[in-house]
Structure 1
Amino acid sequence: MNSETDVIIVLGTRPEIIKLSPVIQACERREIDYSIIHTGQHYSDSLDSVFFEQLELPTPEHHLGVGSGTHGEQTADMLVGVEQIICEEEPEVVLVQGDTNSVLAGALATSKLDIKLGHVEAGLRSFDREMPEETNRVVTDHVADYLFAPTEKSKESLLEEGISEAQITVTGNTVVDALYRNRELAEQKSTVLDDLGLVEGEFFLMTAHRAENVDDEERFDNLLAGVSNAAKQYGSEVVYPIHPRAESSLGEFDITVPDNIRLVEPQDYLDFLRLESAAKLILTDSGGVQEEACVVGVPCVTMRDSTERPETVTVGANRLSGVDPENIMTSVISMLEANETWENPFGDGSAGQRILDEVVQTGQKVNL
């Protein structure tokens, strides 16, 4: 494959936009012919467009506008659209990132054609098959030609499943590339702390959107109670940029949000990055936020029973609490009282370049 070869990049959610931005920017620098398929898996076109603008990315050539639906409906609609575009453009490689339905659709469509598939962030495992994301990432890994593992741990998981070492490249995680590039920009440009009346280091930041948490009334209620109690222990307000799914559940279940949890609108990338960097503690059920907290050096509590980012726990940046209020309290105290620093396990910020080195084979492949 040479530098003239077409690359198609499939994405559909805001975390994918962020994590694939270093790959897109590397394509631009190296003048590689590429195009972007946006499935539209996230519902807010306006917020998506802000992400592209802030990250200085070109407008996607293709937008499927799939939106919400059941897993089957979403994946089927995306599969049809992605396959049609791939057949028209005939690239030599398609790149997908992560574990969403957009990733699964891109992987399945590509794997049935004579086109190479690259999986960015390969080898992540929660070992919880009740998570639809686990199915998506496992299937994608096993049909991919190039597996870009962010860490040695994820490489080990792939090898244990019988995937050839020749297909695996440890690249680091592109989230580090994005954070290194944009953290300073967020400090300079974002006014979110002033807008929300927040003082750096004196508030908790929370995200909760996973179906197993917010679609279950008892779990969601317990989660909110646990976070509220832990924040009271430290006299801190909780800022919660609320996901549409979670907001809908609050209304459906008629849940009263505790007074010290402030609901705010979903934030654009630079504002959310500023909130992450300025928080005293982050509570989340998001995989990507676990990584980002680890990289920016803010203690994290993950309100889940498992994580596909075990490196964050190993280095001391993160602790699993589930949604039991007492466990949330214990985990928050543990993270804040430890007062530790840790080494970022996700690479040096050159993952996007390493990925292109492998698929385009121009220049020497760089090792971590």
Structure 2
Amino acid sequence: MIKSLLTGCAAAAALSFALSNAAYADTTVKIGHVAPLTGGSAHQGKDNENGARLAIEEINAKGLVIGGQKVTLQLDPQDDAGDPRQATQVAQKLVDDKVVAVVGHETSGTSIPASKIYSDAGIVQISPSATNPKYTEQGFKTTYRVVATDAQQGPALANYAAKELHVKKIAIVDDSTAYGQGLSQQFETAAKAAGMTVVSHDATNDKAVDFRAILTKIKGENPDAIMIGAMDATGGPFAKQAKQLGLRAKILAGDGVCTANIADLAGNAADNIVCSQAGVGLDQMAGGAAFAAKYKKRYEQDVVLYSPYTYDAVYIIVDAMKRANSVDPAKILAAMPATDYKGVIGQTTFDAKGDLKHGVISIYGYKEGKRTFINKVSM
């Protein structure tokens, strides 16, 4: 009888010890990332993924404890190919994978349709690069971004064109995406308000490679500048063909074109491009040099554009986890509005819609193919 009691006590103690250890066992927490990893913008998408992965590797190496449990972060990377339909499919996959938050998508055209799925699931979505104002104007509590919007970027670029480049006549082209249309429309409104004459507004698409018909028409209109709302895979060849056709007009573009890769895509026509970035450029970030060095060490390549923003987005999610003392998606979401985080890209605080309270627009040009900072506009 005594032996039986002792055996029972030992079993109970072992069970208690096992349960105690289970309570403190490692918890794996998934954070999703979505960007185009195939298609014309794959280089930008991979750059974004690299930034998120770098943050996760750093946090895991340092050790993360939430609610008394050791937490190991795991990146769940998905490819939306820059396609809105595929974006919604991978968004649902991430929900099914039980991620606690998502960094992405890269473009406005994919971020906007995917946002409804994350909203329905109550999962935080932080886009590092979607600039269309509509993204955060849908009334969702889950949508955030760490860049300025086209409502800020378009006017900043237009005002620079009017005041500094003294542009009087301008032609506008967009790539028919939510990003390209949104940016070009904001630019057009501001350009007219600044006294410029918009001689035409044409549409192409983000898969086009031959722009000679549009450019020949524009050449006859003789504008001082051409504004194109597109990504660099479109904007680069567009600028190159404009130069080949003898157009002397400056090429103006937004952040999708404003990359380190544009010289490869535009050739020596890159030096005719003036572009805006919906945030602080890497060379203007206080922590930019250090980030660039560790990014280069990890990936043996240079930053393309928005990897510092995906890097900070991961840290912002983890900051919300710490303040919530939980890895529950609902509690992470509840902690997000109070975000006040200082990272590589600067201080991040959000307004009621999930936009940055203090957006910044940077203006760049190119000299011998290298991106050169011109000016910064605080919004």
TM-score band, normalised by shorter chain:
0.3 to 0.5
Q: Considering only CA atoms, is the larger Rg found in Structure 1 or Structure 2?
A: 2
Give the alignment's TM-score, normalised by structure 2: 0.35
Give the alignment's TM-score, normalised by structure 1: 0.35
The structure that is strand-richer by fraction is 2
